[in-house]
Structure formats: C-alpha cells, structure tokens
Structure 1
Amino acid sequence: MSGLQGSGKTTLARALEEAGVRRLCPDEEMFHRYGHYGRDFPRGQFRVREAPVLKDIALELQELLAAGHDTVVDHGFWTPEERAQWAATVMEAGGEPVLIYLPVPHEVRWGRIRKRNERSLVDANSIEFSEEDLLRHAGRFYPPTDDEPHIVYDGHPENVLAELRRARPSTDGSRH
C-alpha cells in the first residue's frame, strides 16, 4: 500500500484480511514491542525502533508468501525506493507485488486522525498525531507515478479484491 496516515490503509487491509488475505502491520508490532509512541518511548525514536520491526515483518512476509499465502502489509510505503525494496522482498519469496495507492485529501485524513487520536491509548493503530505532524509527513510522501504500476483505491475493498483476482496468475499460467 502507499498512503499517508488516515488514508484508509488499515480499513482496507482488514477488509482484505476478512477475505482471506494474511495481514501484517508494523504499527501494531511497534505497539506490542514498545508501547505508545510519545508516551512509552520518546518522540524522535520511532524510525530507530521501527527498523528491526520492519526487518522482522519482511521475513514474516517472505515466509507467508513462500507458503503460498496472499499477504498485505498494512504500511504506508511513502517513497519509490521503499516500495522497490519491498517489491524485491516479495519477488525473492516467489510472490507478485501489487501496489495499492490510497489518495485521500488532507481534510479527510485529518478528520480521521482526530477521531483516531481519541483512541490512541487502546488502539495499536492509533499513533497520536497533530495536524502539524500530518502536514510535515505529507511533505515526505511521494505518490506512485505511472512508472510504478498500481491500483488506485476508490474506497471500495471489493473493487481491490476483484482487481487482485484479475491480476493473479492461476496455476496453469493464465490469468483469472
């Protein structure tokens, strides 16, 4: 996936999970290992603590793919370099990477984040953010270009599932 906070990644990933796709979520693993960002560990340490989590998630992803499981990584993948790295991880395990882009306007994302902030003490996916954080992060986000094949999420998980079914090769090499 490629999208900023509040774009609907977790909602989509959970819908895919309900349809039988395995779901991996670095933010939830961060919460389980370290607690609340900005409360249990200081702001500014997120990336340092996230690095081993992402490494472990990549290994788990490869194991799931090698075992034949469709898997979604519930993560933002903000840069072309990061997306290319994870696509390579998928291909090394024999999988076929599919990128889903979630373009959502700032006002919608900020509205979702405000609601999510209220649940930050009990929801592992609710890392508390200010609007300033969200705007700063948007400046570091690079949406997929035409050079990166991707599906644009339209807010309907069933459309993503249909697109994934069309894109997935069957065992005889044809598409279904």
Structure 2
Amino acid sequence: MFRRYGHYGRDFPRGEFRVREAPVLKDVARELQEHLENKRDVVVDHGFWTQEERDQWAQAAREAGGVPVLIYLPVPHEVRWDRIRERNADALVDANSIEFSEQDLRRFAGRFHPPTTDEPHLVYDGDPAHALDALARPLGKDEGP
C-alpha cells in the first residue's frame, strides 16, 4: 500500500483505504498463486477479517495447488493498543505505520470475526515450535481449512 499510495491518512484520505487496497490484494493473490504453482511455501500476513474473506483466500491457494492453513493469533485489546501506540510514535518514519486512535482500534476490532469452531484453524499460542509441529501433522477439523 505504501509503495503505491503513500501514508494512509496523509497521502490519501482515510476513507479510501478499502478502495485502494483492492488492487493491491489482487496483486498479492496473483503472487501467492505463482509461488504455490512453483511449489513454494507461502505465508500471507493479512487480517482475514471475515470467514468469507478467509474462504476466498483459501480457495485461491487451493486453485494453485496449495494447502491453506489458517493460523489465528488472538491478542487482547490492551496488547493491541500498546503495540499501536508504539507504532504511532514511529508513524512519520515507518512506511507500514498507520497512525490511529484507540477509538479507531475499537471500531476496527468490531469488524473482525474470529474463526469459529466450524472453521478449521490453528490457534497460535506464542510458541513457534507448537505451530510448526501442528503444521507437520495432517490437519483435522480444528486445524486448518
């Protein structure tokens, strides 16, 4: 987003994020599929805010021959807000930093729909070894799409 449009809220209006994000996500999806078609492992670090969005990305991975695995990282509000305050302090020098308020965080958090028990996923517990061990096993209902 930054390479294409600059800083959110400074170089382009705050209300235009989703419209500007759409072509970027198409490019990311295309790159994801190219890597999977070439038998490379890929990590897509994205919000995946709804089950519908997660299903679309999983389908794109499957179409390219990949096996999608959703890893959910539950983080309490206080931790998210502490991290955002730290990023806000660097907003003028960090291209990935989007300066926003705690009210913004609460509004955005209300739009997120965590995976349910009906949606296969791994819950990240903070230990990379646990996630890697789980990924090495065949996935069951509660462990990946």
TM-score of the superposition, structure 2-length normalised? 0.91
Work out the CA distance in 2 between the residues paired with 1:74 and 1:33: 18
Using CA pairs under 8 Å that are at least 6 residues apart, name the structure with larger relative contact order, 1 or 2.
Answer: 1
Matches within 5 A, 1:86-105: 86-105=57-76
> Residue 167 of structure 1: CA displacement?
3.8
1:159–1:62 distance in 2 versus 1, CA, 3 Å: same
Task: Look up the SS of the partner of 2:43 in the other structure.
Answer: strand
Question: Structure 2: 5+ residue runs without aligned partners?
Answer: 140-145
Q: Which runs of 4+ in 1 moved over 2 A?
A: 121-125, 165-168
Of 13, 17, 22, which aligns to 1:42? 13
CA deviation profile, 1:39-96 (whole Å, cap 9, x unmatched): 1111101001000000010000000011011101111101000000000000000000
Question: Structure 1: 5+ residue runs without aligned partners?
Answer: 1-29, 169-176
> Residue 122 of structure 1: CA displacement?
2.5
Work out the CA distance in 2 between the residues paired with 1:88 and 1:167: 19
Task: Look up the SS of the partner of 1:158 in the other structure.
Answer: helix
Q: How many residues align?
A: 139
Matches within 5 A, 1:27-176: 30-167=1-138
Work out the CA distance in 1 between the residues paired with 2:28 and 2:133: 26
> Residue 141 of structure 1: CA displacement?
0.7
> Residue 166 of structure 1: CA displacement?
2.3
CA deviation profile, 1:122-155 (whole Å, cap 9, x unmatched): 3233221210110001111100001111010111
* Identity between Structure 1 and Structure 2 (%): 73
Task: Look up the SS of the partner of 1:121 in the other structure.
Answer: coil
TM-score of the superposition, structure 1-length normalised? 0.76
